[in-house]
Amino acid sequence: MTTAGAGARPLAPAASALGGGSGGGGGSSGATGTPSARETRRRRRRHRSTEAAWAAFFLAPTALGLGVFYLWPVLQTFYYSFTTWGPFGGHTFTGLANYRALLHDPDLRSAFVNTLWYCLLGLAGIPIALVLAAVLARPGRRGVGFYRALLFLPVVTMPVAVAIVWRWLYAGDYGLINTLLGKIGIHGPYWISDQHTALIAVAVVGLWSGVGYTMVILMAGLESIPRQYYEAAQIDGAGPVRQFFALTLPLLSPSLFFVTVLSVIGTLQTFDLVYVLIGQTNPALPQTRSVVYLFYQDAFVDNNRGYAAAIAFVLLLVTVALTGFQFRLQKRWVHYA
């Protein structure tokens, strides 16, 4: 205590000297260059304004693209859904006539039923992707990069090219599938022209094309789960099945929810596979036609663009409703760490 007190004494003259240098009182902080509270607030406001200006500068291109290529077409489509187009262009405002016609259109009802089937069959790809991701994400697995690239290859392949290849595979007379079935005595059907198999054939191609993308997302989710949880579960006596349902599924639920939303939105927009794989003269077209294909047919083949705009806007509302329902439902089964 004595040493500390002795050490503090020599500082007193120096502090006194500094105090004298500072103007001899607390109200003279401005004379020493120390910013006042008002100056500090002014600098903070200037800093925030500068940050806001830079944020607006970097967000402007994205906001401009979003407005021009997404929001404006939505507004334009909404307006066109209340119009009727002539054969040589031009349109007249007809109010709710297109929406009244939609209520009595059997093609629209069948197209929505087909699209919902595509959604359900597309969701079946998530368990398949989960199994593949669980197999590839096991510690010590070799060749993971090769298999992941192999399964992801259909995702980066053009859908038209995929549809053309699968059309050859599905061919009833010379297709590879029926050729292999013929070797074991099974006479395969005309997969994409048979009314009973065409929709499943299209859904299988869509599922095969997207399972790699889903698998990569789920693999990332699996690899983010700490291994210590599994080690603790093993110490407690939990087997692989118990670990999967008690640890893996709850901790992977955010990733599962994400791929479920993407799968539903993606399958609601099914078009290119139906267009290339089925074709316009296929007798199974009514059983495979999606809502987006019906929109294309009315807008660009029949030149009934007002009616097509009404179809597109109804599909938008259905997509928003299903997505909102999924977000509301996720509170019951998605667990965020």
Classified as helix, coil or strand, 55 is helix
Instruction: In whole angstroms, give the CA distance from residue 147 to residue 114.
Output: 33
Among the listed residues 329, 202, 153, the one whose alpha carbon sits nearest the alpha carbon of residue 256: 329
Classified as helix, coil or strand, 84 is strand
DSSP 272-327: HHIIIII-TT-TTHHHH--HHHHHHIIIIIS--HHHHHHHHHHHHHHHHHHHHHHH
Instruction: In whole angstroms, give the CA distance from residue 303 to residue 309.
Output: 11
Residue 91: in which H helix or E strand, if any? strand 91-93
The residue count of the chain comes to 337
Burial of 321 (0-12, 13-18, 19+ CB in 10 A): exposed
Could you tell me how far CA 225 lies from the centroid of its own chain? Answer: 22
Contact 192, 277 (CB under 8 A): yes
Contact 104, 287 (CB under 8 A): no
Half-sphere exposure of 73 (CA within 13 A, CB side): 8
pLDDT digits (tens, 9 = 90+) for 127-172: 999 999 988 988 788 888 899 999 999 999 998 999 999 999 999 8
Q: Does 251 score more than 70 pLDDT?
A: yes
Orientation angle between helical segments 249-268 and 198-223, nearest 10 degrees: 140
Instruction: In whole angstroms, give the CA distance from residue 166 to residue 201.
Output: 9
Contact 81, 67 (CB under 8 A): no
Handedness of CA 123, 283, 277, 296 (dihedral sign): negative
Instruction: In whole angstroms, give the CA distance from residue 288 to residue 256.
Output: 28
Half-sphere exposure of 139 (CA within 13 A, CB side): 5
pLDDT digits (tens, 9 = 90+) for 4-30: 443 444 444 444 444 444 444 444 444
Chain mean pLDDT for the chain? 87
**Alpha helices per DSSP H over the chain:** 2-8, 11-21, 37-66, 72-80, 97-103, 106-123, 125-136, 144-152, 159-170, 176-183, 198-223, 227-235, 240-243, 249-268, 272-273, 285-288, 291-296, 305-333
Mean pLDDT of 280-292: 93
pLDDT digits (tens, 9 = 90+) for 192-242: 999 999 999 999 999 999 999 999 999 999 999 998 998 999 999 988 889
C-alpha separations of 217 from 95, 135, 152, 256 in Å: 45, 14, 11, 9
CB neighbour list of residue 167: distance below 8 Å, 6 or more residues apart: 192, 276, 277
pLDDT digits (tens, 9 = 90+) for 80-121: 999 998 877 788 999 899 999 999 999 999 999 999 999 999
pLDDT digits (tens, 9 = 90+) for 288-319: 999 999 999 999 999 899 999 999 999 999 99
Please tell me what DSSP assigns to residue 36. Answer: P
Percent of the chain with pLDDT over 90: 66
